[in-house]
């Protein structure tokens, strides 16, 4: 049957309209199916990747400010795991305001540390801190943070050199500290201590089985004379009485990178690196005015953090070395980039309130104040809050 042309002109627009409606319905059905599929995928397979990663532009957790928080600290100086050198309240620090500051990233809030959750999530596993006394500072902080939330759990502490271990027996969780100030090996050859810039196998044997590894190094690379732990360095088969310390540190870190890439199964073991912890021996970096600079010799007497988001001091050369080396890792370690936020805490050091100092030394803060380590409770608790965030969120 032939449709009259007049009727065709009437039906054609109607046909096109119906086709558009059908296409729209199909698109909406397909789109809804995709959205539901994504929702179901997210529900069925929750991501174990931290939601507050440092490389996310939505919330760079290492950029922010310090804000007052009277609910802090999360534990007291009576925690049984604090060494005397970090226990400022026990050894006479008269102020406590420095304990009342919380790190606030610019665009988000960090999750509050939960020691019971830490134990439950790490059940049957081990965490090892490897490095110098700043790593030890962080290890003792973590021990106290966990213990404060789970005081009834049985613990077993074994302190040694180079390895100290704390076990939370009810959960099968072990957190330990392995002293390796340069990370690479130091061997004794013909009575001389040789810093092996190309060899880390001796130390590395103690690290292989940990489920989470957190490394640090830095401060000891600048020590000279009686404070350095070595007599000569060896690299590339040659011995050196000394060399540029930045170059030496970089060679050692590249040895560490090769060892991690070759020996650590990253599907099983998490690897973290604590950025360079700053010192506060030069008041000119934070004091305003000639009078303040003339009267202050170091961090002694500092009781409040710096305001703002940036520290006016110089960018640490050691931090540049760390940045460059981590970029070259096959599977880069997670950098706990605590340098800037710690630089703002000129108030957080033991100063003269360290159990390592005698009364005569405490009487001379210009010579003996410790402006390198950190009080516990104190700043390393924030390092561990960031560590906790990176592990679980």
Catalytic residues: 133, 370, 373
Question: Taking a C-beta distance cutoff of 8 angstroms, is the pair 29, 75 a contact?
Answer: no
CA distance linking residue 369 with residue 366, whole number of Å:
6
Question: Taking a C-beta distance cutoff of 8 angstroms, is the pair 120, 388 a contact?
Answer: no
The number of residues making up the chain comes to 393
CA distance linking residue 95 with residue 343, whole number of Å:
20
Among candidates 337, 327, 195, 317, which has minimal Cα distance to 246? 317
Question: Taking a C-beta distance cutoff of 8 angstroms, is the pair 221, 245 a contact?
Answer: yes
CA distance linking residue 200 with residue 260, whole number of Å:
10
| Strand-pair category, 270-274 with 232-235 | unpaired
CA distance linking residue 204 with residue 184, whole number of Å:
8
Can you state the angle between helices 245-263 and 317-327, rounded to 10 degrees?
30
- Residue 1 CB neighbour total at 10 angstroms: 2
Among candidates 204, 58, 194, 196, which has minimal Cα distance to 128? 204
| Strand-pair category, 186-189 with 192-196 | antiparallel
> C-alpha angle with apex 355: 71 to 357, nearest 5 degrees?
130
Among candidates 317, 314, 325, which has minimal Cα distance to 281? 314
DSSP, collapsed to helix, strand or coil, labels residue 267 as: coil
- Residue 161 CB neighbour total at 10 angstroms: 7
| DSSP calls for 65-133 | EEEE-TT--SS-TT-TT--GGG-TTTTT----GGGSEEEEETT--PPPP-HHHHHHHTTT-EEEEEESH
């Amino acid at each position: 049957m032939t449709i009259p042309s007049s009727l065709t002109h009437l039906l054609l627009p109607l046909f096109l309209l119906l086709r558009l409606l059908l296409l729209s319905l199909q698109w909406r059905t397909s789109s809804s199916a995709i959205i539901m599929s994504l929702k179901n995928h997210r529900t069925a397979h929750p991501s174990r990747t931290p939601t507050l990663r440092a490389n996310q532009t939505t919330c760079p957790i290492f950029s922010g400010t310090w804000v007052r928080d009277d609910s802090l600290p999360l534990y007291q100086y009576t925690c049984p795991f604090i060494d005397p050198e970090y226990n400022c309240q026990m050894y006479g620090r008269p102020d406590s305001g420095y304990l009342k500051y919380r790190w606030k990233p610019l665009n988000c809030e960090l999750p509050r540390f939960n020691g019971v959750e830490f134990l439950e999530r790490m059940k049957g596993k081990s965490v090892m801190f490897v490095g110098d006394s700043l790593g030890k500072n962080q290890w003792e902080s973590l021990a106290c943070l966990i213990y404060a939330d789970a005081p009834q759990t049985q613990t077993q502490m074994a302190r040694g050199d180079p390895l100290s271990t704390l076990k939370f027996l009810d959960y099968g969780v072990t957190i330990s500290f392995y002293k390796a100030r340069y990370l690479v090996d130091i061997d004794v050859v013909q009575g001389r201590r040789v810093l092996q810039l190309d060899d880390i196998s001796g130390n590395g044997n103690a690290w292989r089985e940990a489920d989470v590894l957190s490394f640090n190094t830095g401060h000891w690379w600048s020590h000279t004379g009686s404070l350095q732990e070595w007599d000569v360095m060896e690299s590339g088969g040659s011995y050196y009485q000394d060399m540029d310390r930045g170059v030496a540190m970089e060679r050692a870190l590249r040895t560490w990178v090769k060892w991690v890439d070759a020996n650590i199964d990253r599907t099983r073991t998490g690897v973290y690196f604590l950025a360079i912890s700053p010192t506060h021996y030069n008041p000119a970096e934070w004091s305003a005015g000639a009078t303040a600079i003339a009267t202050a010799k170091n961090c002694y007497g500092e009781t409040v953090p710096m305001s703002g988001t940036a520290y006016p001091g110089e960018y640490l050369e050691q931090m540049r070395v760390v940045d460059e080396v981590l970029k070259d890792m096959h599977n880069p370690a997670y950098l706990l980039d605590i340098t800037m936020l710690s630089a703002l805490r000129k108030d957080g050091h033991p100063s003269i309130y360290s159990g390592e100092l005698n009364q005569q030394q405490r009487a001379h803060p210009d010579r003996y104040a410790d402006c390198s380590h950190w009080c516990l409770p104190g700043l390393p608790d924030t390092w561990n809050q960031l560590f906790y965030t990176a592990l679980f969120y």
